[in-house]
């Protein structure tokens, strides 16, 4: 039961903020929720969606489930709601990333280049663990919601710096 609580806490802690890694170190302020002291229950109607952080391509919605993604050493969780045909270019994270597909189909592949034919289709209920610094990409064909959990700080670095949405026009 304690292990289950740790997993839930890990999922819930990821979502509060983003620590950006790479050549330029910046911190992006994100909403956060209180850390779980005993028991957390979240239903879909409790989730407050907002625009995804600038570190992600525009068009997605983002919701912190628990914690603060910018807090080092803390468990966190967030949900990402992506529209149809959403693409996240090749990138990596500073820590292991755990992804659960809540709805839709999430496509993920490995490597420094997008190769949609080599991507694996992950339908609702699928689970993925991406090791820290592993290069991967993702995309959708229909609206898809995933839940990400990890130990903070959560961040994203793009393999090709020109793919980084933070280096483009403001949203």
CATH number of the domain where residue 133 is located: 2.60.120.10
Q: Which of 54, 49, 45, 44 is nearest to 64 (CA)?
A: 49
Query: Cα–chain-centroid distance for residue 160?
Result: 19
Q: pLDDT digit of tens for each residue in the chain (171 aa)?
A: 444 444 334 333 333 333 333 333 334 455 555 555 667 788 999 999 999 999 999 999 999 998 888 899 999 999 999 999 999 999 999 999 999 999 999 999 999 999 999 999 999 999 999 999 999 999 999 999 999 999 989 999 999 999 999 987 555
39 within domain boundaries: no
115 within domain boundaries: yes
- How many domains, in total, are found in the chain? 1
Q: Which whole-number Å values give the CA distances from 135 to 29, 95, 108, in the listed order? A: 25, 12, 11
The pair of structure tokens assigned to 3 is 């292990």
pTM of the model: 0.77
Range of the domain at 92: 2-34+47-167
41 within domain boundaries: no
40 within domain boundaries: no
């Amino acid at each position: 039961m304690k292990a289950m609580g740790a997993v839930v806490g890990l999922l819930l802690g990821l979502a509060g903020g983003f620590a950006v890694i790479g050549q330029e170190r910046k911190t992006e302020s994100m909403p956060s929720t209180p850390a779980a002291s005993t028991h957390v229950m979240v239903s879909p109607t409790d989730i407050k969606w907002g625009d995804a952080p600038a570190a992600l391509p525009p068009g997605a919605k983002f919701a912190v489930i628990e914690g603060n993604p910018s807090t080092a050493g803390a468990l966190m969780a967030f949900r990402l709601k992506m529209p149809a045909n959403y693409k996240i270019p090749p990138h990596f994270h500073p820590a292991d990333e755990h992804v659960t597909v809540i709805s839709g189909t999430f496509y993920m592949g490995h490597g420094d280049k997008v190769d949609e034919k080599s991507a694996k289709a992950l339908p609702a209920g699928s689970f993925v663990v991406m090791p820290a610094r592993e290069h991967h990409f993702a995309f959708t064909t229909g609206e898809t919601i995933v839940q990400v959990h990890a130990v903070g700080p959560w961040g994203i670095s793009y393999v090709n710096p020109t793919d980084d949405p933070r280096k483009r026009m403001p949203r």
